[in-house]
Amino acid sequence: MAWERKIMRTVRVRNENKVGTLARLMAAISGLQASVGTIELINETAHSVVRDITVYAEDAEHMDHVIEAMRANEGTRVLAIRDEVLELHQKGKIAIRSRYPIDSIATLRRVYTPGVAEVCLKIADDPALARLYTSVSHMVAIVTDGTAVLGLGDIGPLAGMPVMEGKAMLMETLVGLSGVPILLNTKDPDEIVRAVSTISTTFAAIQLEDISAPRCFEIEERLQSMLDIPVLHDDQHGTAVVSLAALMTAAKRANVDLNKVTVGQVGLGAAGNSIGRMIMSLTGNPVYGADLSEEAVKRFEDAGGRRSSLKEIMAECDVVIATTGAPNLIQPEMVRKGQVILALSNPNPEIDPEIALAQGAAFAADGKSVNNVLGFPGIFRGAVDANAPRITHEMLIAATEVLVRMTPAGELMPNPLDKKVHLEVARAVAETAMKQGIARAEYVPYVEG
């Protein structure tokens, strides 16, 4: 059975050192349709063997059944159960650190008073110097109201903090930007716009994150019109860049010409609306669009899309992209032979790729392999380095083209941990800003360290 691995536990067991004990334990786990990851030997004696076994289950209840089966296995004693995901998140995943050690009075006087006053006065005379003498040049606000977190929905800004921390970690690790989570305890667009615009002086760019549609469209548009730094709603544009790149690669592998096939977009929220619009800008052809929200469908129609339904899309479209957040929405019998299906909702796709392939799909993938981590770090790095006031459609297309070009043979997307990919995206974005005449700084590629 295949699923998005949602629940993981590390179970420490002591097995009798007898032939068959471990094999029976593995059989008990697999018999409950669970999966085993790593098995680490901790200690071995003549009588027993202690191991840490990583177990994956569908949900908490399923995991409880698996643990009970492990306890019931003859010759096995469960010593401890650890949730390594929760352990990793304890006390948060990010922190602000000084770039220089304060190890002497002389250093203290340079970084703080009285030396810092000279720097303050220079910036007061020429605010542009803040990019040279402060962290503003590499600070990105990651702003959320917690109304559309992953596929979990409106769980509030505080519950969305682990995602914001993860975004900040990726920015710093992959391209050296300092992402700062900003949690807004309001859903009012006016209050959100007011708050973000007020603090914007601190940052080189604003990343809007996990803000539900349709408010996200208005908030992004208003903020970008007010501010002279890039404002990007990642759930729209970052997701669209990566999804379009994956689609272009998948189409090539399935021998499909995107300019000559019918494309359907199921789900017209922040991500789906943007994906559909990018495809239409690329091909010049209307994309079929379906959503339960009449407002969302009307917005998509106004952008050039064609009103449709899930049934019609599955029956008529050669390429199907789904971003609904509804697990198992696409039933196996709906899949037609030769279709390309990207079921991108996380943590649970609209249809499991293996099921779609078994039903005759020419190509299928889910959100695990099509993830916007390949988009936003490089896009922001390039825009910030070029000191561009905004991120244009052309800059996003440039990022897409890099991802397609750097995808290894036989893969759908590049390795998201390959820093060369992210820096190449940054270069393409910055160079596009320069060609468009909106770069306000000479582009100097970021070098780690």
Name the residues annotated as catalytic.
112, 167
- CA–CA dist 8, 237 (Å, integer): 31
DSSP 380-438: HHHHHHTT-SS--HHHHHHHHHHHHHTPPTT-SS--TT-HHHHHHHHHHHHHHHHHTT-
- Give the three-state DSSP class for 189: helix
DSSP E strands: which ranges in 159-315?
Answer: 178-183, 205-208, 231-233, 263-266, 288-290, 306-307
- CA–CA dist 144, 156 (Å, integer): 9
- Give the three-state DSSP class for 280: helix
Order of strands, sheet of 76-82, starting from the edge strand that comes earlier in the sequence = 35-44, 48-57, 7-16, 76-82
> What one-character DSSP code corresponds to residue 45?
-
Rama region for 121: left / alpha / beta (φ>0; ψ in -120 to 50; rest): alpha
Whether the CB-CB separation of 432 and 398 falls below 8 Å is answered with yes
Give the angle 267-379-177 at the CA atoms, nearest 5°.
120
Phi and psi torsions of 47, nearest 5°: -105, -25
Please confirm whether the linkage preceding 408 is cis (ω < 30° from 0).
Answer: no
